[in-house]
Amino acid sequence: MSSEGTPKGNRAQNKQFTDAIREIEKLIGRKLSKREVRRLHDAISGQDYGYHGIIEEGLKEFDN
């Protein structure tokens, strides 16, 4: 499976997003709130982000 672009199928998309959230949390040293997770989800929705793109967006948004 390629790490770039949105995977086919909702299950795969959800797993990719969940895995990216875990990585973002590890990199910033804290858990994201439900509101922050939703904000990131809304920001990337329909944008064809891959795993690394989701992480980049999350770091831009939450790595203060």
Q: List, for residues 4-22, the tens digit of each pLDDT value.
A: 677 788 898 999 999 999 9
Q: In percent, how much of the chain has pLDDT > 70? A: 94
Using the predicted structure, report yes or no on whether residue 3 has a pLDDT greater than 60.
Answer: no
Q: Report, in angstroms and rounded to the nearest whole number, the Rg of the chain calculated over CA atoms.
A: 11
What does pTM read for this prediction? 0.85
**Burial grade of 10 (CB within 10 A; 0-12, 13-18, 19 or more):** exposed
Confidence of residue 1 (pLDDT cuts 50, 70, 90): very low
The length of the chain is 64
Q: Which residues lie closer than 8 Å to 54 by C-beta, 6 or more apart?
A: 16, 17, 20, 24, 40, 44
pLDDT beyond 90 at 44: yes
CA-CA distance, 12 to 28, in Å (whole number)?
A: 24
